[in-house]
Structure 1
């Protein structure tokens, strides 16, 4: 025998629990039972009732290898139920939230709940240190599932709760429970798909878009990225081939640099030419620190009111680097977003130009339904 817990715990409304999942309501815990005091109708959960309304009660929790003696001469009220944890994290839980770990395995147990002094403690309130009025013992031992039963009944409190339990309608059958869980699971999956669809402009993304989703660039003021500006174009770009995506990325870099007033600067123009040829960037575009120094020191780079390159210029440099990214889909989406940022409120004219220049991106991609199987 092992003592898993021994001490005083706080009860509220005469309630105490053994949990390996979230809590459940009183009626559900006693559904279909013939016994009160210990509700075991909900898998992975025991609902323990005490005579004490609010305050501290002593309780001991024991784990036995085989069925222990009944000890009916010591305790006034005794009931038995079956219990199987649904996780390896089982706790004795107070009504107010205190938790005490119970190291139980995920196997089937028989549980015997012993109660003493329930009538004397009826609706009482007790603080730590005051005389003990009622006390409890909970014993577990491995055993196949079996019907609940009343081992001994003495108190009026026990009689009341036994009657309460017998008035509860039976709980769902295993088949009904499985069906409810299946429906809940499908409902959750459907909601997740709907949420994903909403995030991608009303249609489900392809696996390729899912792959690059968390890698796409974001700009301040554009929390949803390119999807928030033109979701249809994102899906259309995804549906094109890598050659079209790479061409679009380079085109977007050119348009971004032109909009930001950078195209005529010799080292930027050289970088655009290198991008078009698929060559590595030469200095200062080959290093982020050198680029920063060049942008700050070159008077030809347009400045914002504080004397530093503004958002259009930062976005244009981002478009230049993004267009050279190894993944052509990511390159196209990131570079086009950066170009849209450089165009600010005129970005929708930019998107119209994309459709004219790259006809494949003007084709509407058929939305994929969320009830796909």
Structure 2
């Protein structure tokens, strides 16, 4: 019984077409596919894949896949014939054109299979190139399953110099690694890659935290600590090392100084909240007991101070330089990676997908700065509403975690002080030093 899942023309690129037993695993390089074989027309050295070389470089060629119950007899019209052993995977087996072209399901069972290929038009190899009239050669691939002799890669017929060339290439290649050797190589590469990824993560973390890694408490604090770090990373680390009472004192100081800078000190409802923060009373008195109620009260009172300050800008620092990473470990590849590997086997050049281009994403800091978006100097320097920056310091100082209370209150106070933020940070540092020496 003969079944022909493929019968017609296929598109050939770089003289190759492939059989994938598991399309998700990709295709090997040419040298991998031919390693250790005596034939160069059908590479079967990597389990589950076949690399078929054709007589045509680029164009369309007649192609027939025959699935038989027993080995076929040699047809005298076949110019070059080779046979290899192949075991399909359990899911599917497909014939695939190079570069993500058409595919055909072959429907091969997952049993030992003998595959013979007879690529025609070898005498016209190189006559059909991109932009030239297409040559009409033919290739027949026959697959037969059932009890078989030991695995083999035989050349049953050879009549062309091109076929002789590929046979010689295959015979000169070193034998492929054993499955155990391949697994060990992949394991070592994977471990080296994972180590490098972790070293890269730690390298970037040290840079982001001012040249040293953060404590576990700082690493897990979240909030605005990443925004405060560029202003004074040493102070952030110092706050992380202080005792809870000092951290709470810093939070209260930052809240009071921010409200003073914004002209909110002296307002009864603000002073009551600052007193509650200082005494550690929770929840805060209205309207600070709920953030939504706080802003409702602010927008309902047109008599509040309306002070603005040039926004705070951290000192400049050199941009981060990523350390080089080793090559990614071998493993499953997507379609674009697989296409690149196929072309590399014959030094093919593949145009990149437009989807490969990385598109930079810009993020916008959404918060009280929205209130300042219309205020610009003639030099386009941004301004910050001090009232909108100062009130969150009171909420931050009431945080249950004293470290988070200190960091968040200082962050909002820095924005309240704007271009004069250095004055605030120096006072915070002096408070920490004074508490440590008393």
CA contact (8 A) 1:80 1:113 kept: yes
CA contact (8 A) 2:288 2:294 kept: yes
Q: Aligned with 1:162: secondary structure? A: helix
Residue 13 of structure 1 and its aligned partner are, at CA, apart by 1.2
1:1-373 equivalence runs, <5 A? 8-17=9-18, 18=20, 19-22=23-26, 24-42=28-46, 45-59=49-63, 68-74=69-75, 76-82=80-86, 92-98=95-101, 100=103, 110=113, 112-125=115-128, 132-137=136-141, 139=143, 147-150=151-154, 152-156=156-160, 157-201=162-206, 202-205=211-214, 209=218, 211-212=220-221, 215-217=222-224, 225-238=227-240, 245-275=247-277, 276-280=280-284, 282-283=286-287, 286-288=290-292, 291=295, 294-295=298-299, 297-303=302-308, 306=374, 310=384, 312-325=386-399, 329-358=403-432
CA–CA separation in structure 2 for the residues paired with 1:36 and 1:122: 15
CA contact (8 A) 2:11 2:58 kept: yes
Q: Aligned with 1:310: secondary structure? A: strand
Q: Which moved more, 1:11-20 or 1:236-245?
A: 236-245
CA–CA separation in structure 2 for the residues paired with 1:121 and 1:172: 35
Number of residue-to-residue matches in the alignment? 351
CA–CA separation in structure 2 for the residues paired with 1:189 and 1:121: 49
CA–CA separation in structure 2 for the residues paired with 1:133 and 1:36: 19
Distance 1:8 1:311, change over 3 A: farther
Distance 1:208 1:37, change over 3 A: farther
Q: Give the superposed CA RMSD.
A: 4.7
Q: Aligned with 1:96: secondary structure? A: coil
CA–CA separation in structure 1 for the residues paired with 2:407 and 2:111: 55
Q: Which has the higher contact order (CA 8 A, sep 6+)?
A: 2
Residue 177 of structure 1 and its aligned partner are, at CA, apart by 3.2
CA contact (8 A) 1:253 1:320 kept: yes
CA contact (8 A) 1:197 1:203 kept: no
Distance 1:278 1:185, change over 3 A: farther
CA–CA separation in structure 1 for the residues paired with 2:182 and 2:51: 19
TM score, norm. by length of structure 1: 0.70
Distance 1:306 1:131, change over 3 A: closer
CA–CA separation in structure 2 for the residues paired with 1:230 and 1:168: 60
Q: Deviations over 1:313-369 (max 9, x none)?
A: 43333433344445555444333333333334444554444344335999xxxxxxx
CA–CA separation in structure 2 for the residues paired with 1:113 and 1:188: 40
Q: Which moved more, 1:48-57 or 1:293-302?
A: 293-302
Residue 149 of structure 1 and its aligned partner are, at CA, apart by 0.9
Distance 1:115 1:311, change over 3 A: farther
Distance 1:118 1:356, change over 3 A: farther
CA contact (8 A) 1:11 1:52 kept: yes
